[in-house]
Copies of this chain bind each other. A is one copy, B any other.
């Protein structure tokens, strides 16, 4: 049995996600399709890349992850299959798979070209159903990874937003805003030792939030706080509320961490 995860911007309003699962179960009846999310904003490659990165460490070894945020569907962009030490990733060559690979060892990257793995006829607008899902299913059913197509040596990157470091300051940015309105940044918990986080002061839009709290209940309801999120990144939140609304946050806004102990 293989787990096949699905991350898309299709929403679950129509039949699109259901047909991907139908194609999968027709090829690999014992596969377990699992939704990560289908609510990525239309064409938001970074949002999809972040969700995939946040979810993949929690799936069993051997999971096949399919991500279809694919604004270039039908154009010349390639389809990729990437094998790592822990998983297989399948999706368009537009960067959506990149961030999930950050903590994994890449074994092989191939362009998906084997039409024997496709669902025919192949439409021009729904490669999730006709190329990505059936290729994942054939791999789940035991076909060799090397059969998907030829190895490629380069692929579209998705640069991790740069973190500026000075002697006593880290500056990052908001990468993802979740359903609760929590604003998750690109500042990973492991950038600083725990003692430095405890002495740190987090600022967003000239608002000082002090050191990251250990839980949301550390501040009064309606008040903002910094916290290390469950996905391991610094997050700006509001207890029982939405940081995005209260502080008018959006993806790309700068977040600063001042760490006096690193001085001198």
Residues of A that sit less than 8 Å from B by CB: 1, 3, 5, 7, 10-15, 17-19, 21-23, 25-26, 29-30, 32-39, 42-43, 51-52, 54-55, 58-60, 63, 71-75, 119, 123-126, 129-130, 178-180, 214-217, 227-230, 240
With A15-B51, A35-B18, A179-B11 as known contacts, state yes or no: A119 contacts B230, CB within 8 Å: no
With A29-B1, A125-B229 as known contacts, state yes or no: A22 contacts B60, CB within 8 Å: yes
A3 to B, closest residue via Cβ: B25
Q: CA separation between A55 and B60, bound complex, in Å?
A: 29
Q: CA separation between A119 and B59, bound complex, in Å?
A: 11
A11 to B, closest residue via Cβ: B179
- A73 touches which one: B11, B30, B34, B216 (CB < 8 A)? B216
Instruction: Name the 9 nearest CB pairs between A and B, nearest first.
Output: A74-B215, A126-B230, A22-B59, A26-B60, A18-B36, A15-B55, A13-B179, A22-B58, A19-B58
On whether the beta carbons of A21 and B34 are closer than 8 Å, the reply is yes
Q: CA separation between A12 and B227, bound complex, in Å?
A: 22
Number of copies: 3
Q: 6 additional contacts, CB 8 Å, given A125-B230, A129-B230?
A: A1-B30, A12-B12, A12-B35, A15-B55, A18-B35, A18-B37
- Residues of B within 8 Å of A38, CB to CB, are 12
On whether the beta carbons of B1 and A216 are closer than 8 Å, the reply is no
On whether the beta carbons of A217 and B74 are closer than 8 Å, the reply is yes
On whether the beta carbons of A55 and B178 are closer than 8 Å, the reply is no
On whether the beta carbons of B55 and A214 are closer than 8 Å, the reply is no
On whether the beta carbons of B125 and A216 are closer than 8 Å, the reply is yes
On whether the beta carbons of B240 and A14 are closer than 8 Å, the reply is no
Q: CA separation between A72 and B218, bound complex, in Å?
A: 10
With A42-B240, A125-B227 as known contacts, state yes or no: A13 contacts B37, CB within 8 Å: yes
